[in-house]
Structure 1
Amino acid sequence: MPKQTRKPTWAEIGIFLCISVFFLEWASDFLIPLVAAFLGSLILRPVQRKAMSLGIPNGITAFLVCFAAGVAIVIAVWTFSNPISQLVNDLPAMINELRNTPNAAAETLDKIGDAAEAAQEAVAGKEDVPAMEVKVVENSSFLGSLVTSAPVLLGQIVLTIVLLFFLVSSGSTFERKLVECMPNFANKRATVQIVQTVAQKLGQYLGGITLINLGLGVVIGLAMAAWGLPNPYMFGVIAFTLNFVPYIGAIFGALLAAIVGFNEFHTAWSAILIFATYMALTSIEGQFVTPYIISNRLKLNPAVVFITVAFFAWIWSVVGMVIAVPLLITAKVLLDQSPSTRPIALFLGEANEQFKKDGGAA
């Protein structure tokens, strides 16, 4: 008689989840570059295979990819560090001016002004000011944490590029070793299918969203230039970058543009209209362009996407918000493979086409 396996209790599941969350936060400095590099290697799998078909060794492909990534990061930092740093330094004064304006619309941003004051004083080193607690730097505001965590972020970027080099240069070794660990042919075939599906879905999402964000950045940069804002190209770069963070990125970018607009024109209505322009463009992108290009092949539950972004923002800060959706895509592909977990995958998003043909969950 086969031995029956005992199902875990709800208490055991809860303890496991709590320990998992603690571990994710505790080991974030190592896990963030590790996860980013692994996702990057999956995304670059088609490029790697194309290079192999052209006779280019994996080592050369890995070097070219990592070198291009490093050069792009250096150029971006060199080009936009000064205007963005100036904007960060001037932002508290802009919000204070906005708060002191006797206008009902400006008074609605009173809480934003309080946050900016706390950020300014935290950066100045005043410890007697209560501030919002975030990961990496305790008892610091969000803006202060971005400033003080720059060396950690730089180290994570370097580690990500190094790990990405080894993963890409190893070619299909990782996938082959993973397949060899499987006990039978069915499991081996399922493993290959999982890796290929994850790479395909991530490539579709990140490739499509990058092109969409690039177009959105150009459009928003032109719109801000039409409004007469200083450094409109900077707002295009900000829009391109922040739009990788669903929902939250668009709101933050629109608020930033509105504050700069108020400081430039000194009227609340100008700030409101600039905010509306930014949000209208991102809404058109989110409601029409992205669903048309991406969502026909990849549909996720919007509520789950927002919760996932908020969760990884909590445990992994800014980087967590960027890689939250790729991790959600990977989790959905993995959950799609087993009949016992397929209902969870269906909750995360629309069923995979293959499993629709198979008749759904068993």
Structure 2
Amino acid sequence: MTSQVAKRAPVVRLPPKSNVELLLLRGAQVAVIVMGTIAAIFALHAGEYILAPAGLGVVIGLMLGPVATRLESSGLRPGLSASLVVLLFIAAICLFALAIAGPLSFWLSRVPQLWSDLQLQLSELKAPLETLKSVRDQLREVTGSNGVTVSLDQGSEVESVALLAPALAAQILIFFACLYFFVATRNQTRVAVLKLCLDRRLRWRVAHIFRDVEKLVSRYLLSITVINVAEGIAVGLAMQLIGLPSAVLWGVLAALANFIVFVGPAFMVAILLLVGIAEFDTMAGSLLPVVAYLVINTIEGQFVTPLVIGRAMTLNPFLVVLALIFWIWLWGPLGGFIAIPALLVVYAVIRNIVPGINWADDVEPRRH
């Protein structure tokens, strides 16, 4: 008994930490998290050239993952199923390009005429514009600003196109490479990451994160794609009934613009307003395309989308706006498309990391 007591290691009791020490410890942890977040944001911004097309490839890969899974269940190898998925995606892009190539060239050739028509239609606003011009001149006199003179080099456009083409081709290559290899190796990647998790509970959480990310992103993007295609068809038919030329073009643009929530519909309203003013003589006729589009878009946003993806999956509009602002600032229009899937990924990670909170009812609508 005495030998057992002698073998025990002495117990060293440290004095409890004071409130100041705890505050400094928490402050240091928060500072590390904030600095890491800032460093990650600047790394994403600096690596836009490579990370933006790679991120888009991963997002499209998550959307098309269930399609590849269906093909693999029929006996195809992952590499072959990924190739078929990429080919189907390229075919869809080609169909969209063929649908809008003719109408788009038609409207581009009419840009000078549209500009003159817009000037005639907006001549009634000459008096308010003159008032704004006089206010601007007064502000310049007060601030002492004489404006900025910008000189343009006539050869700059050719040079910019020559420099832009190889960069764009490289980004397209990066996108398709990431799309193919992500779809082909998605199961191997999941297994490799799970093998790195030595703790059983951590492995369980990581597995659930993979499952939820694939489920949320693929379900959202596939559902939104079907909804946007249906909305594009409805907008095209409405423009055809109104008598607006190139109804197919406006339907395709409406479908594509609706992928970027808030920003896309606002862009469509501005385009249809300008085209309506140029095409119709009366103010009521000019507003008719915008009204028709807003009615269809409102029905889609308030009734169709909640019915298809479930009201419980509808994200907080404030978080959506913040995500759009952040990703558009980070990667431009491409970031606007990635914003919602990225928000869903963060949501899937948080709901599996935060303990003691049941997030299950926040994703799937309850069934009674």
Which one is further off, 14-23 or 227-236?
14-23
Checking the alignment, whether the CA contact within 8 Å between 2:96 and 2:252 is kept in structure 1 is: no
Higher RCO structure (Cα 8 Å, ≥6 apart): 2
What code does the residue aligned with 1:50 have? R
Change (3 A) 1:47 1:245: same
Per-residue deviation, 1:27 = 0.6
Alignment-derived partner of residue 218 in structure 2 = 203
State how 1:332-343 maps to structure 2 within 5 Å: 332-339=347-354
Please report the TM-score for the alignment, with normalisation by the length of structure 1.
Answer: 0.77
Alignment-derived partner of residue 137 in structure 1 = none
Alignment-derived partner of residue 57 in structure 1 = 77
Alignment of 1:33 onto 2:53: yes
SS of 1:252 mapped into structure 2: helix
Alignment-derived partner of residue 9 in structure 2 = none
Alignment of 1:24 onto 2:44: yes
Per-residue deviation, 1:182 = 0.4
SS of 1:40 mapped into structure 2: helix
Checking the alignment, whether the CA contact within 8 Å between 1:58 and 1:171 is kept in structure 2 is: no
SS of 2:204 mapped into structure 1: helix
Checking the alignment, whether the CA contact within 8 Å between 2:237 and 2:247 is kept in structure 1 is: yes
SS of 1:102 mapped into structure 2: helix
Alignment-derived partner of residue 103 in structure 1 = 124
Alignment of 1:173 onto 2:188: yes
Checking the alignment, whether the CA contact within 8 Å between 1:219 and 1:236 is kept in structure 2 is: yes
Structure 2: which 5+ residue stretches go unaligned? 1-12, 133-148
Higher-Rg structure is: 2
What code does the residue aligned with 1:273 have? L
Please report the TM-score for the alignment, with normalisation by the length of structure 2.
Answer: 0.76
Checking the alignment, whether the CA contact within 8 Å between 1:99 and 1:107 is kept in structure 2 is: no
Checking the alignment, whether the CA contact within 8 Å between 2:68 and 2:85 is kept in structure 1 is: no
2 CA distance for matches of 1:106 and 1:76? Answer: 43
Structure 1: which 5+ residue stretches go unaligned? 112-125, 130-139, 357-362
Checking the alignment, whether the CA contact within 8 Å between 1:103 and 1:268 is kept in structure 2 is: no
Alignment-derived partner of residue 353 in structure 1 = 361
Change (3 A) 1:341 1:163: farther
Alignment of 1:73 onto 2:93: yes
Checking the alignment, whether the CA contact within 8 Å between 1:37 and 1:161 is kept in structure 2 is: yes
2 CA distance for matches of 1:151 and 1:267? Answer: 46
2 CA distance for matches of 1:91 and 1:341? Answer: 59
1 CA distance for matches of 2:259 and 2:53? Answer: 17
What code does the residue aligned with 1:80 have? I
Per-residue deviation, 1:340 = 6.6
SS of 2:353 mapped into structure 1: coil
Checking the alignment, whether the CA contact within 8 Å between 2:323 and 2:343 is kept in structure 1 is: yes
Alignment of 1:238 onto 2:249: no
Which one is further off, 187-196 or 151-160?
151-160
Checking the alignment, whether the CA contact within 8 Å between 1:98 and 1:259 is kept in structure 2 is: yes
1:238-260 CA-to-partner distances (Å, cap 9, x unmatched) read: 00000001011111112211211
Alignment-derived partner of residue 62 in structure 2 = 42
Alignment of 1:260 onto 2:272: no
Per-residue deviation, 1:290 = 0.8
What code does the residue aligned with 2:124 have? N
2 CA distance for matches of 1:90 and 1:107? Answer: 28
State how 1:1-362 maps to structure 2 within 5 Å: 6-9=25-28, 13-87=33-107, 90-91=110-111, 94=114, 97-100=117-120, 101-104=122-125, 127-128=150-151, 152-339=167-354, 351-353=359-361
Alignment-derived partner of residue 133 in structure 1 = none
1:175-196 CA-to-partner distances (Å, cap 9, x unmatched) read: 0000000022211121111111
2 CA distance for matches of 1:293 and 1:209? Answer: 9
Change (3 A) 1:341 1:59: same
Per-residue deviation, 1:8 = 4.6
1:192-212 CA-to-partner distances (Å, cap 9, x unmatched) read: 111111111112211111111
Per-residue deviation, 1:154 = 4.5
1 CA distance for matches of 2:107 and 2:280? Answer: 16
1 CA distance for matches of 2:332 and 2:186? Answer: 31
1 CA distance for matches of 2:285 and 2:312? Answer: 39
1 CA distance for matches of 2:127 and 2:91? Answer: 42
- Alignment size in residue pairs: 321
2 CA distance for matches of 1:275 and 1:176? Answer: 50
SS of 1:160 mapped into structure 2: helix
1:280-334 CA-to-partner distances (Å, cap 9, x unmatched) read: 2111111111112113351210111122112211221111111110110011110
> How well do the aligned residues superpose, as a CA RMSD in angstroms?
3.6
SS of 1:44 mapped into structure 2: helix
2 CA distance for matches of 1:252 and 1:205? Answer: 22
Per-residue deviation, 1:215 = 0.8
SS of 1:33 mapped into structure 2: helix
SS of 2:76 mapped into structure 1: coil
Checking the alignment, whether the CA contact within 8 Å between 1:32 and 1:316 is kept in structure 2 is: yes
